[in-house]
């Protein structure tokens, strides 16, 4: 990112007038996404407070004012990063619910996706971000996103307890324990390590399922 060949700010031949509006909108979205990609990597590596918009602009080989064409401030960028990560988790829950199966089967599918997402840039940002770093408006919105995910996941846990595929317990504590454990993966997972992200997800989820499944021998798959 930031090289002349890859930067969406690189000059390109003009499109025919009929396609110009659509091309402009596509290019704007590419530039907006480029800002998010650069920002989320910086937030994850250095922390939100230690990352400036000048740092992000430098990665993109643009000026700081350029970024203000796409976002009002750093807080808006951070919220969009955590929104994208949260959306990935919500989509995982929706897919599992649509597929059906026992509570344990749905929970397994969700946790595998959840674990994988926490090892990707935007998912890591969700796990690493403390909402006190945000403005009051973004903090409220972020807490709402997290609450919606927690409630959706808790419904799956409750369903598993009702159908007997999960051990009977406090669904709230079970949900917090599962998500807390998987969120922590974002802090220690090393892409250059001996395990792939898929192996890490499988191993972590299997360990967690051994503690909540009615039949601990059930495999994460």
Tell me if 102 sits within 8 A of 146, measured CB to CB.
Answer: no
For the chain, list the domains and their CATH numbers. 17-67 (1.10.10.60), 82-212 (1.10.357.10)
Q: How far apart are CA 119 and CA 110, in angstroms?
A: 15
Q: Express each pLDDT in 152-161 by its tens digit.
A: 999 999 999 9
Per-residue tokens: 192: 């250059």
Q: Is the per-residue pLDDT at 7 higher than 90?
A: no
Instruction: Annotate the chain with DSSP letters as a single string.
Output: --STTT-TTS--PPPPHHHHHHHHHHHHHHHHHHHHHHHHHHHHHH-TTT--HHHHHHHHTS-HHHHTTT-SSHHHHHHHHHHHHHHHHHHHHHHHHHH---HHHHHHHHHHHHHHHHTSHHHHHHHH--GGGS-HHHHHHHHHHHHHHHHHHHHHHHHHHHHTSB--S-HHHHHHHHHHHHHHHHHH--TTSSS-HHHHHHHHHHHHHHHHBSSTTPPP-
So what's the pLDDT on residue 53? 96
Closest Cα to residue 130, out of 176, 82, 92?
Answer: 82
So what's the pLDDT on residue 151? 96
Per-residue tokens: 209: 């399922």
Q: Express each pLDDT in 34-78 by its tens digit.
A: 999 999 999 999 999 999 999 999 999 999 999 999 999 999 999
Q: Express each pLDDT in 121-169 by its tens digit.
A: 999 999 999 999 999 999 999 999 999 999 999 999 999 999 999 999 9
Q: Express each pLDDT in 195-221 by its tens digit.
A: 999 999 999 999 999 988 887 655 555
For helices 171-188 and 197-212, give the axis angle rounded to 10 degrees: 160
Q: Which pTM value belongs to this model? A: 0.85
Which span out of 5-14, 15-24, 131-140 was modeled with the highest average pLDDT? 131-140
Q: How far apart are CA 17 and CA 25, in angstroms?
A: 13
């Amino acid at each position: 990112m930031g090289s002349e060949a890859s930067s969406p700010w690189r000059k390109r031949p003009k499109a025919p007038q009929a396609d110009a509006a659509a091309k402009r909108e596509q290019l704007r979205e590419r530039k907006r996404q480029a800002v998010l990609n650069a920002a989320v990597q910086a937030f994850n590596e250095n922390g939100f407070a230690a990352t400036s918009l000048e740092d992000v602009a430098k990665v993109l080989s643009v000026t700081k004012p350029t970024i203000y064409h796409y976002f009002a401030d750093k807080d808006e960028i951070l919220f969009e990063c955590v929104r994208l990560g949260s959306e990935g988790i919500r989509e995982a829950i929706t897919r599992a619910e649509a597929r059906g199966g026992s509570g344990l089967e749905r929970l397994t599918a969700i946790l595998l996706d959840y674990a994988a997402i926490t090892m990707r840039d935007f998912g890591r940002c969700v796990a690493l971000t403390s909402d006190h770093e945000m403005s009051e408006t973004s903090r409220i919105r972020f807490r709402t996103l997290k609450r919606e995910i927690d409630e959706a996941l808790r419904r799956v846990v409750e369903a598993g307890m009702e159908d007997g595929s999960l051990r009977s317990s406090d669904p709230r504590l079970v949900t917090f324990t599962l998500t807390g454990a998987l969120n922590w993966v974002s802090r220690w997972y090393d892409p250059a390590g001996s395990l792939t992200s898929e192996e890490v997800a499988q191993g972590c989820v299997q360990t967690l399922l051994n503690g909540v499944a009615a039949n601990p021998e059930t495999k994460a798959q």
